[in-house]
Amino acid sequence: MSAAVGFLHALSHCLSAIGLYAEGHPAREKALEDAYTNLLDLQEDSATVVFTFLADEVVYGETPLRGLRNWALAARLAENGIERLELGTGVTREEVGVFVIELADLIAGRKEYADIQPGEFDNIRFGPVSLLDGTGGYTLFNLYEQAEMADGLFTEASANGAIHAALSAGVLDSIWGVMHAEEELVIPQVPITEGSELAVVRALNTSVLAVALGEFMQLAEPEIMLIAEAALLHDIGKVTVPEEILNKPGELTDEEWSVIRRHPLEGARILMRSGERFGAAAVAASEHHLDLDGSGYPEFIYPRTPHRISQVVRLCDVYDAMRTRRPYEPELGLERIMEVLTAGTGSKFAPDLVKGFTRMLSTWRDRFVAADAGLLG
């Protein structure tokens, strides 16, 4: 990762040199040469160099650069619409030079983001993570990359007992972008195929459903994203369950069920260790098998009504479970699923959520699209 950090520092120095020296000045030319040399070094490992600039994180590919947390330049780039930067194979020194000048003008307030023409650059793509306009700006993650990132969350949780905020934010941005790429919101649902990682696919689908329901019920975007992250991470505790139990084709024994029933609290512990950002997700992880009336598992000392976010995650999770063919249960048809949800109104699910969800299924039925993530175990 030192080469990635080196390139970004060289880019920062180049931007500073543009502000200090006139065009053609030796110091300015040397700064540009250093930045380009660092880029070529990076491209020895990967032809396309990809950076994501979040509020307090810089991600290289899918790896957070911890040495650049709260980096001022990243925040300024993101504030000005450059949340994603891709430098592809074939990029020239001249192309980098023109782009850096555009960046310098943008950051200095001499130019607006809308004034930068993506068509000027053959091998540089940039823009907000939600942009998909076909003009050479940033193109969204495809579903394979999205699923790989989600898989990375589960891998990180299994290895470290915690997850990184930047990786979770990247998956959420991808989900949001894919769903809002067209004029009308689309609801991609990944089918389970042979070799699919069941937990990862279910996490993606539940999060997509949470976004769709939030949109349909006209919630504010920050609230939708909070719910979407809780949905994405609700089953993270399953990394503590042995695979032979998770993937068992037949009925589980009482002992195996007792292991399964521990995953909500294990997930909450993982998320609590991951930082304050994941407070709502930790609550939803602990409660996503609780019904509205407090029944379900785990059993708490004092019975309680699950949090509103947990209720949304529970409903979306149950829907996806019923429509997903799993090792031990077949999928159900849409009409039967709606019957089950309606029957659970008031006891398992909040009446207004069931009403909103079933209306969404009926109204937006044509917006549900099959999406093969291409993720193999």
CATH 1.10.3210.10 range(s) for the chain read: 143-370
Return d(Cα 307, Cα 305) in angstroms, integer.
Answer: 7
Whole-prediction pTM value? 0.64
Question: According to the model, what pLDDT value does residue 327 have?
Answer: 56
Q: What are phi and psi of 159, to 5 degrees?
A: -80, -40
Q: What are phi and psi of 132, to 5 degrees?
A: -150, 90
Question: According to the model, what pLDDT value does residue 311 have?
Answer: 98
Question: According to the model, what pLDDT value does residue 374 have?
Answer: 57
Mapping DSSP to helix (H, G, I), strand (E, B) and coil, where does residue 256 land?
Answer: helix
Q: For residue 275, is it left (φ>0), alpha (ψ between -120 and 50) or beta? A: left
| Neighbour tally for 237: CB within 10 Å | 23
Question: According to the model, what pLDDT value does residue 133 have?
Answer: 38
Instruction: Tell me the three-class secondary structure of 15-55, residue by residue.
Output: HHHHHHCCCCCHHHHHHHHHHHHHHHHHHCCCCCEEEEECC
Question: According to the model, what pLDDT value does residue 350 have?
Answer: 97
The answer to whether the Cα torsion of 224, 73, 143, 317 is positive or negative is negative
Contact status, residue 252 vs residue 260, Cβ threshold 8 Å: yes
The structural architecture, per CATH, of the domain 143-370 is Orthogonal Bundle (1.10)
Q: What are phi and psi of 210, to 5 degrees?
A: -65, -40
Contact status, residue 201 vs residue 373, Cβ threshold 8 Å: yes
Question: According to the model, what pLDDT value does residue 377 have?
Answer: 44
Q: What is the pLDDT along the chain (377 residues), one digit of tens a residue?
A: 568 888 888 888 888 888 777 888 888 899 899 899 989 988 887 778 888 887 677 888 877 776 777 788 888 888 888 888 888 888 999 999 999 998 888 888 888 877 776 567 888 888 876 433 333 333 333 456 667 778 889 999 999 999 988 888 878 887 887 787 666 888 888 877 655 578 888 999 999 999 999 999 999 989 999 999 999 999 999 999 998 898 787 788 999 999 999 999 999 999 999 999 999 999 999 999 999 999 999 988 887 899 999 999 999 999 999 987 665 566 788 888 889 999 999 999 999 999 999 999 989 988 887 776 655 44
End-to-end Cα separation, the chain, in angstroms:
26
Q: What are phi and psi of 179, to 5 degrees?
A: -75, -25
Per-residue burial over 298-316, b if 16 or more Cβ lie within 10 Å, else e, is: eeeeeeeebbebbbbbbbb
Give the closest residue to 127 by CA, choosing from 50, 48, 220.
50
